[in-house]
Amino acid sequence: MEKYIIHGGVRLEGSVKISGSKNAALPIFAATLLTDEEVILKNVPQLSDTQTMTLLLRSLGKKVSWDTGSPGRVIIQPELKAGLVVNTKASYEIVKRMRASICVLGPLLTRYSKAEVSLPGGCAFGPRPVDLHISGLRALGADVKLIHGNIVAEAKGLLKNSATGLRRLRGGHVPVMQGRISSVLATDNILSAAVLAEGETCIENAAREPETEDLVNFLKHIGAEITQEIEDPHKEDLFHEGKSISIQRLRVKGVSKLHGGEYTIIPDRIEAGSFMSFAAITGGKLLIQNCEPKHLHAVIQIFEELGLSIQQKSSNELLVKTAGKRLKRLKRLKGIEVSTGPYPLFPTDMQALLMAVAVLAEGDTILEESIYSSRFNHVGELERLGASITLEGNKAYIHGVSALEGARVMASDLRAGAALVAASLAASGKSELRRVYHIKRGYENLLGKLKKLGAKIVLEDG
């Protein structure tokens, strides 16, 4: 099995180009099932999750071609000209590898009147229910059952789609996320189903993450009718009491057919945030290019509190540097207190990466995980490198240490793996990081990008 060997203590310096967003690309790939016309996607990151999604779409009757002459350009066409689908069952073999496979549920159901998707796997950091996906699709008139570990859904409405002759879902009020944490992929599924449903759908407390916004923009681009309404935060039952996050309602007017088009995926904000962590922890200086600064507000704010200097150099470039030279300067960083939350709050996908940096900050840091209360698999591994962390429920108390030492560690999920890369880059001596397949799920050419910045990191077998 592949592992990274990292010799830490090198200050990273140079420029790094951020790839397209994995979490935006996956639901958009799935949404191409909604049309029989050709879709060309650009800025698609080449990583194992997008490869898995490619396999999944191919198994469902799409021809997916990665343009070898133009990296990140993917052409998606129907296999069968008549608009027939090879099958509407997403197999366990593919779905178990990646949770985002569940994104094909809504598109298949609304386009072909039925769908069967195995309950998804993905990063294992505690319970990850799918009740919101199911209740949301039921609100659109679908009959949804769980049979032998599969979600089996069927459109039961009497109305037929004039373009396909198949039964349609019916638009309706979808209040399932009201008063709860809005779910990103459930929003994506319900939205993708609603665009071809009969009549109007109103999704309350829809996710506001930039990746869902990208799906909205893609769907509009291929002919969907969607309007976004932002609610005054004080009128609604808020998940984050006292925090002024506004709530989004999505209104969808169903159409009978969507067309093709060419669309560019947004930059990956979590990859950009990861490189901020790598800069912070190595006392480095990085020009982060091809990023979208406005998606990174909360992350920038917290890293600035940690003592990083972050300057916007152009509309898509950030210059990130620490106040002084090398790791010792991290001792000057102040202790902080952060809670993860739905966008625009600090993202849960950055929690482990922030923790790695906080491990070397002066004083104590308190990190609260509000989205996945047990997403702390990285804690034990960071401790192997010399971190001092106490866990109490969904809070981690990080007691800053002055140095880390290389050790043998293991990635337990994607972002935990990235956090261990960060910590190993700062640790003295050699670290061995196993199970890098988790990291390869979500980072395009991480090794190459880090090497270009001076990191001493190699991939080995064994």
The yes or no reply on residue 216 touching ligand UD1 (CB under 6 A) is no
User: Given the complex with ligand UD1, which of 97 and 99 has the nearer CB atom?
Assistant: 99
Instruction: Candidates 87-95, 131-139, 429-437, 454-462: pick the segment binding ligand UD1 (CB under 6 A).
Output: 131-139
Interacting span for ligand UD1 (CB under 6 A) from 73-81, 129-137, 306-314, 390-398: 129-137
Using CB under 6 A, pick the residue from 73, 96, 114, 128 that binds ligand UD1: 128
Among 133, 167, 170, 438, binds ligand UD1 (CB under 6 A): 133
Q: Which residues contact 262 (CB under 8 A, 6 or more apart)?
A: 39, 40, 41, 42
C-alpha span between 307 and 246 (Å, rounded): 29
Binding span for ligand UD1 by CB under 6 A among 158-166, 176-184, 248-256, 299-307: 176-184
Site string for ligand UD1, 369-398 (x = CB under 6 A): --xx--------------------------
Point out which residues pair with 395 in neighbouring strands.
Answer: 368, 392
Among 33, 184, 250, 420, binds ligand UD1 (CB under 6 A): 184
408 near 435, Cβ under 8 Å?
no
What does the H/E/C string look like for the chain?
CEEEEEECCCCCEEEEECCECHHHHHHHHHHHHHCCCCEEEECCCCCHHHHHHHHHHHHCCEEEEECCCCCCCEEEEECCCCCCCCCCEECHHHHCCCHHHHHHHHHHHHHHCEEEEECCCCCCCCCCCCHHHHHHHHCCCEEEEEECCEEEEEECCCCECCCCCCECCECCEECCCCCCCCCHHHHHHHHHHHCCCECEEEEEEECCCHHHHHHHHHHHHCCCEEEEEEECHHHCCCCCCCCCCCEEEEEEECCCCCCCEEEECCECHHHHHHHHHHHHHHCCEEEEECCCHHHHHHHHHHHHHCCEEEEEEECCEEEEEECCCCHHHHHHCCCCEEEECCCCCECHHHHHHHHHHHCCCCCEEEEECCCCCCCCCHHHHHHHCCCEEEEECCEEEEECCCCCECCEEECCCHHHHHHHHHHHHHCECEEEEECCHHHHCCCCCHHHHHHHCCCEEEEEEC
Identify the active-site residue in 103, 123, 202, 291: 123
Q: How far is the CB of 69 from ligand UD1 (least distance, A)?
A: 28
**Residue nearer to ligand UD1 on the CB measure, 285 or 440:** 440
Least separation, in Å, of the C-beta of 324 and ligand UD1? Answer: 33
- Binding string, residues 90-119; x marks residues near ligand UD1 by CB under 6 A: ---------xx-------------------
Q: CA 117 → CA 91, 276, 288, 295, 403, distances in Å?
A: 7, 37, 38, 31, 47
d(CA 208, CA 402): 38
> Is residue 103 annotated as a catalytic residue, yes or no?
no
Nearer of residues 198 and 211 to ligand UD1, judged by Cβ: 211
Provide the mask over 322-351, with x wherever binding to ligand UD1 is found by CB under 6 A and - wherever it is not.
--------------------------xx--
Tell me: does residue 421 bind ligand UD1 (CB under 6 A).
no
- Does 185 bind ligand UD1 (CB under 6 A)? Our answer is yes
Quick one: which of 5, 55, 152, 181 contacts ligand UD1 (CB under 6 A)? 181
The minimum distance between CB 358 and ligand UD1, in angstroms, equals 19
- Shortest distance, position 216 Cβ to ligand UD1, whole Å: 14
Binding part of the chain for ligand UD1, among 29-37, 109-117, 126-134, 427-435 by CB under 6 A, reads 126-134
Least distance in Å: CB of 240 to ligand UD1?
A: 13
For ligand UD1, the binding residues in 22-81 under the rule CB under 6 A are 23, 26
Provide the minimum distance between the beta carbon of 364 and ligand UD1 in the complex, in angstroms, as a whole number.
25
Q: Please report how close the Cβ of residue 122 comes to ligand UD1 at its closest, in angstroms.
A: 7
Q: Which is nearer to ligand UD1, 26 or 336 (CB)?
A: 26
User: Which residues 196-215 are close enough to bind ligand UD1 by CB under 6 A?
Assistant: 211
CB under 6 A: which stretch of 50-58, 183-191, 313-321, 445-453 binds ligand UD1?
183-191
Nearer to ligand UD1, 277 or 348 (CB): 348
Positive or negative: CA dihedral 349, 353, 359, 362? negative
List 67, 70, 129, 229, residue binding ligand UD1 (CB under 6 A)? 129
Sites of contact with ligand UD1 (CB under 6 A): 23, 26, 99-100, 128-133, 181, 183-186, 211, 348-349, 371-372
Active site residues: 123
